[in-house]
Amino acid sequence: MKKLTIIAVAAGLFLTVSAQAEAKGCLKGAAVGGVAGHVAHHHGVVGAAAGCAVGHHMAKKKQKEADAQQQQQPQK
């Protein structure tokens, strides 16, 4: 079971790295979620997937806020 988990996480990381331009926040979220999931009764893969989704959402939200703030500033 441990070997299967390692393979699944490694495959997910390889896919994430290959699509890094679209996956902002996913690696950091997956790392945090994986650790949290592991601590919560060995659900590291589920935690990593959820962390990736949340990290990506937060990065998108942060980028949207930065874009809105940049548009509000008067241009010289």
Q: Please list the rounded mean pLDDT of every run of 10 residues in the chain (76 residues).
A: 74 60 75 87 87 88 91 74
Domain of 18, in residue numbers: 2-66
In a domain, 26, yes or no: yes
The two structure tokens encoding residue 65: 């806020």
Instruction: Locate 44 and state its tokens.
Output: 């590291």
Note whether 52 and 33 are within 8 A (CB). Answer: yes
Which structure tokens are listed for 36?
Answer: 């949290």
Structure tokens at 56: 């990506």
Which pLDDT score is estimated for 5?
A: 77
Q: What is the 3-state secondary structure (H, E, C) of 59-71?
A: HHHHHHHHHHHHH
Domain-embedded: residue 38: yes
Flag whether 71 is in a domain: no
How high is the pLDDT of residue 29?
86
Phi, psi at 40, each rounded to 5°: -85, 70
Residue 55 is assigned to a structural domain of this protein: yes
**pLDDT of amino acid 64:** 92
In a domain? residue 46:
yes
What's the domain count of the chain?
Answer: 1
